[in-house]
Amino acid sequence: MVKQVVTTICFVLFHCIISYWAFMSSCSIHSSPKISIPAIARYFGTKGRYEDVNTYLIDGLLATNNSLVTLPSSKCSEIHLTAIIRHGTRYPTTKNIQKMREFYDLVVRDATGNLNCLSEIKSQWKMWYTDDMDGRLVDKGRADHMHLAQRLIKWFPSLLTEDNVRNGRVKLITSSKHRCVNSTIAFREGLMKGLNIKVELEPAVNDALMRYFDQCERFVKEVENNKSALEEVKRFNEGPEMTRVMEKMADRLEVPYASITDDSVEAAFFLCAYEFTIHDLNSPWCQLFDEVDAQVMEYAGDLKQYWKRSYGHDINSKSSCILFHDLFHRLDQVVAQINSDGALSEAVTVQVGHAETLLPLLTLLDLFKDDIPLSSTNFATQKNRIFRSGNIVPYAANLLVVLYECPEGIRMGVRLNEKSLTLPGLADPVPMYEDVKKRYRALLEGCDQETVCKMNNS
């Protein structure tokens, strides 16, 4: 009898969960029947899923796609990998949780529109984000790193080996932020699972390397703490494209134009993005945007990344000199060891940080550089820009630098998000390491952290 009651309760509960999930999914007019991905997901920028950059992963998170990678000749063998990785999917930061709560309160209090799903937001959706979540890693973020570790074992079977892990030739380095430390731990779990071993492998916390931007005085003063550094973002948020998005939002909710700000539309956009990335939900918030609105929101986000972390200001990329030198110092060491007794001390180095760790470094390498800078006035003409933060630094974004020993010498391959990149100015996709060093000679001989980050007293 008791067994029967418990079975019935479980059955009812299970169906409630499934119905709720199906209900939430069916709320959006933009749903895809199979996995219910919001149609605007590709515009989520740095709040986007890794699987939406590499869509083949949607059907299998351990898949690797060889057609996206250029390898040197089969006579070459991999001798080293450095992987610089952004943490996995996370909760919103407190600042954004507060904006999301304010917008939710406004919708519940004032919205009268009859848009599909507005009543669902008001009667069903609950504001479940709390301030203490503050950018912490979510379960999906742990899975991002576990799966990435397992895919890297498939990509580099001769480097990510039990022998290299057991003998200290695999190193883990992380930023001190909880989302990065926990991502690194998840990566380690993925490694152990993929190799079917249990070994102690303690990550080293190194903020000087993984959060170099905090320690670069010039960057902090001239960009991070200087409102005018993001003037173009402000102008865009006050410009005609964003105004139109705000007006359309006010029309949909049937609230006065004055009650919708750029912060409100950003909060609504984040609600759509976070509900999807954290819980796989194509939530009713996504219906508050059409595709053009989402493109405008994406551009606003890209402008922030461009002016705060990329080509907008020279110091943004220069602040990463320390990470640049750390990388090349390690690569030089590998080459030197190969040229002496061939005994390598570091086969794989994994460094876990932030979007703001990766983007400045990619910028320093001159990657993803459009001919015309991104500005508040060129949204329309930048439609086909290369600088799209969603493609470059989604959650778990990764820069993979690989050294190969070939009969003709050492070669270097670079992949971003598991796709080969050709370094600008070098025609060969897997060039000789010496040619890479020639290409970046100016940086290798200069780009001194102390000098570039020192404030010019005059």
The nearer residue to ligand LH4PNPC7, 93 or 215, going by C-beta atoms, is 93
The nearer residue to ligand LH4PNPC7, 164 or 174, going by C-beta atoms, is 174
CB of 86 to ligand LH4PNPC7, least distance (A): 5
The nearer residue to ligand LH4PNPC7, 169 or 354, going by C-beta atoms, is 354
CB of 390 to ligand LH4PNPC7, least distance (A): 10
Residues 6+ apart with CB under 8 A from 425: 366, 439
CB of 355 to ligand LH4PNPC7, least distance (A): 3
> Of 321, 305, 282, 333, whose CA–CA distance to 397 is shortest?
305
The separation between the first and the last C-alpha atoms of the chain, rounded to the nearest angstrom, is 85
Phi, psi of 395 (to 5 degrees): -55, 140
The nearer residue to ligand LH4PNPC7, 136 or 193, going by C-beta atoms, is 136
The nearer residue to ligand LH4PNPC7, 326 or 356, going by C-beta atoms, is 356
CB of 212 to ligand LH4PNPC7, least distance (A): 13
Q: How many CB atoms lie within 10 A of CB 426?
A: 17
d(CA 317, CA 233): 19
The nearer residue to ligand LH4PNPC7, 85 or 347, going by C-beta atoms, is 85
Assess whether 178 carries a catalytic annotation: no
Residues 6+ apart with CB under 8 A from 444: 325, 328, 437
Q: Which two tokens stand for residue 174?
A: 């992380």
d(CA 395, CA 142): 11
Residues at the site binding ligand LH4PNPC7, with contacts judged by CB under 6 A: 46-47, 86, 93, 95-96, 354-356
Active-site residue, selected from the candidate residues 30, 87, 145, 313: 87
**Helices 355-364 and 321-339 sit at what angle, rounded to 10 degrees?**
70
Residue type, 371: D
- Beta strand spans in 24-179 (E): 77-86, 170-174
CB of 356 to ligand LH4PNPC7, least distance (A): 5
Contact in structure between 68 and 420 (CB atoms under 8 Å): yes
Determine whether 442 is exposed, middle or buried from the number of CB atoms within 10 Å of its CB (0-12, 13-18, 19+).
Answer: exposed
CB of 93 to ligand LH4PNPC7, least distance (A): 4
Taking CA 414 as the corner, what is the angle to CA 173 and CA 278, rounded to the nearest 5 degrees? 60
- The residues annotated as belonging to the active site are 87
